[in-house]
């Protein structure tokens, strides 16, 4: 909880602080598992999300729409960031 004496100052104006609601009130549901991806085709970054079957991470380049799929295997990796080819 914020200290009642905490203040925010923007351009010389003091604004009252707002206490953030408890974490369970701000949550929008369970967090989805994802991999971070650098799409070399368009020099862009994005995410691959786990498919409904839980067998792969899937996504598309945010610029050109190229499809990317990373299979989930029994001897996988702890790496969370990848580059596409």
For residues 71 and 51, what is the distance between their CA atoms, to the nearest angstrom? 10
Q: Is residue 79 assigned to a domain? A: yes
Q: Is residue 9 assigned to a domain? A: no
CA neighbor of 36 nearest in space, from 27, 26, 45: 45
Q: Each residue of 76-85: pLDDT tens digit?
A: 888 889 998 7
Q: Which domain holds residue 55?
A: 27-83
Q: Is residue 50 assigned to a domain? A: yes
Please give the tally of structural domains in the chain: 1
For residues 26 and 22, what is the distance between their CA atoms, to the nearest angstrom? 7
pLDDT recorded at residue 25: 47
| pTM of the predicted model as reported, rounded to 2 decimal places | 0.62
pLDDT recorded at residue 75: 86
Residue-by-residue DSSP string for 21-57 = PPHHHH--SSPPPEEEEEETTTTEEEEEEE-TTSSEE
Contact in structure between 84 and 68 (CB atoms under 8 Å): yes
Q: Each residue of 37-54: pLDDT tens digit?
A: 999 999 999 999 999 999
């Amino acid at each position: 909880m914020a200290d009642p004496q905490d203040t925010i100052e923007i351009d010389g104006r003091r604004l009252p602080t707002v206490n953030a609601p408890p974490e369970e009130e701000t949550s929008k549901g369970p967090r989805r598992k994802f991999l971070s991806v650098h799409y070399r085709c368009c020099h862009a970054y994005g995410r691959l999300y786990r498919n409904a079957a839980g067998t792969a991470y899937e996504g598309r380049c945010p610029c050109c729409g190229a499809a990317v799929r990373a299979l989930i295997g029994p001897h996988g990796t702890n790496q969370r960031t990848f580059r596409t080819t």
